[in-house]
Amino acid sequence: MTKKLPEWVVDEPVEKTAHTQQNECYIHSEPLGVVLIISYWNFPFTITIQPMVGAIAAGNAVVIKPSELSENTLNLLATIIPQYLDKDLYLVIEGGIPETTEVLKDRFDHILYTGSTNIGKIIMTAAAKHLTPVTLELVGGKSPCYVDKDCDLDIACRKFMNYGQTCITPDYIRCDPSIQNQIAEKLKKSLKEFYGDDAKKSRDYGRIINSRHFQRVMGLMEGQRVAYGGTGDMAALYIAPAILTDVDPQSQVMQKEIFGPIMSFVCVRSLEEAIQFINQCEKPLALYVFSQNDKAFGGSLGLSNSSLHGTVAWDATMASTASRPSPTVTPA
């Protein structure tokens, strides 16, 4: 960003018309004013600091409201920001729903929010009272992963990060019934390679954010065929990585984004059936395709062109987080 700043602050020349030939025409950018950043708990430091850096670089004052659920990060930000930045220009709001509700009554020049769609609607309603522009990064849809019979299963089965608490994490696998068990076995092998026989003892394996989400995620597995893991310890907010097979598309686990360490298998008999199912669901933020057949990915009848989605990745997952800008889509 520091390398780009000199370029960003320079006035941008504008093409002259017949009426402005004798004039000097350019676009001059100015700071918006005061920017409010309300961040989520799953990447609490990154999704707070990144937009804050951009807002400061553009010359704005900033108010941040980190999630109260990520308590340690909130305490850290509340300590270091007033320690190193001007307290009159950069403010940290601590607290939960009452404090957020109160701060939204004030007028800001721009609001950025990362989090759930329901809260996004509340923020947008509050902003509308002052005609404040809003940038929303909302979780939405269930990001599908289509695994073709001809793909390299060893590659497809080594994708796992942040305990599944990521908005573009693969939420369920669509594959032919003939390879479901094979994929499940390779997933088990990969999980053991990553975290050992007991993931609870691994320093690399995370925890659910709080007891409410723990109960929600555990409840999603009720009545399902658990092929691996799925045990929980509420006191430790620990849920073992779970693999669910032969999942009914109408079951509870398929109705909402999981945001937890569960991988569900929903079998399909053809690529066309997979596309039809994806298009009947809420538009996902991401789509992942594992196949050696480029027609399954691209082409007029491939997943990337025939289904509704945000980002799409071939033989990879989470790739959009490393790209700039990150391509996303607003859920319907």
pLDDT in tens, 109-118: 999 999 988 9
The residue out of 113, 138, 163 marking a domain boundary is: 138
Give φ, ψ of 145 to 5 degrees: -125, 115
Is the same domain home to 187 and 308? yes
**Count of domains observed in the chain:** 2
In this structure, the strands spanning 134-138 and 110-115 are parallel
Let me know whether 11 and 45 are in one domain: yes
Residue 330 maps to a domain? no
**Same domain flag for 149 and 132:** no
Does 331 fall in a domain?
no
Look at residue 179 and tell me if it is in a domain. yes
Tally of residues, the chain: 332
Query: Residue 97: which CATH number?
Result: 3.40.605.10
Task: Return the pLDDT at 161.
Answer: 56
Q: How far apart are the first and last CA of the chain?
A: 33
Domain that holds residue 118: 5-138
Together in a domain, 191 and 301: yes
Q: Which among 119, 138, 157 is the end of a domain? A: 138
- H/E element holding 8? helix 5-9
In a domain, 171, yes or no: yes
Do 133 and 47 lie in one domain? The reply is yes
In a domain, 51, yes or no: yes
Q: What pLDDT, on the 0 to 100 scale, is given for residue 159?
A: 57
Residue 332: predicted pLDDT: 31
pLDDT tens, N- to C-terminus, the chain (332 residues): 778 788 888 999 999 998 888 899 999 989 999 999 999 998 899 999 999 999 999 999 999 999 999 999 999 999 999 999 999 999 999 999 999 999 999 999 999 999 988 999 999 999 999 999 999 988 767 888 889 888 777 776 665 555 566 777 888 999 999 999 999 999 999 899 889 999 999 998 989 999 999 999 999 999 999 999 999 999 999 999 999 999 999 999 998 888 899 999 999 988 889 888 888 888 888 888 888 877 666 665 577 777 777 778 777 776 555 444 444 433 33
Say if 332 falls within a structural domain: no
Let me know: does 303 contact 289? Beta carbons within 8 Å. Answer: yes
Is residue 212 domain-resident?
A: yes
Instruction: Kindly state whether residues 123 and 35 are assigned to the same domain.
Output: yes
Question: Is 328 part of a structural domain of the chain?
Answer: no
Phi, psi of 192, deg, nearest 5: -70, -35
Among residues 138, 172, 188, the one where a domain terminates is: 138
**Residue reference for tokens 């594959």:** 175
**Catalytic residue ranges:** 137, 167
Mark whether 198 and 239 lie in a shared domain. yes
Residues 298 and 186 in one domain: yes
| Whether residue 108 is found in the same domain as residue 168 | no
The reported pLDDT for the residue numbered 149 is 86
In this structure, are 62 and 173 located in the same domain? no
d(CA 50, CA 37): 10
pLDDT of residue 306: 74
Could you please report the per-residue DSSP string of 293-311?
-HHHHSSTTSHHHHS--SE
Residues 190 and 126 in one domain: no
**Helix or strand (DSSP H, E) at 266:** strand 262-267
Q: What is the CATH number of the domain that holds 176?
A: 3.40.309.10
Residues 174, 311, single domain; the answer is yes
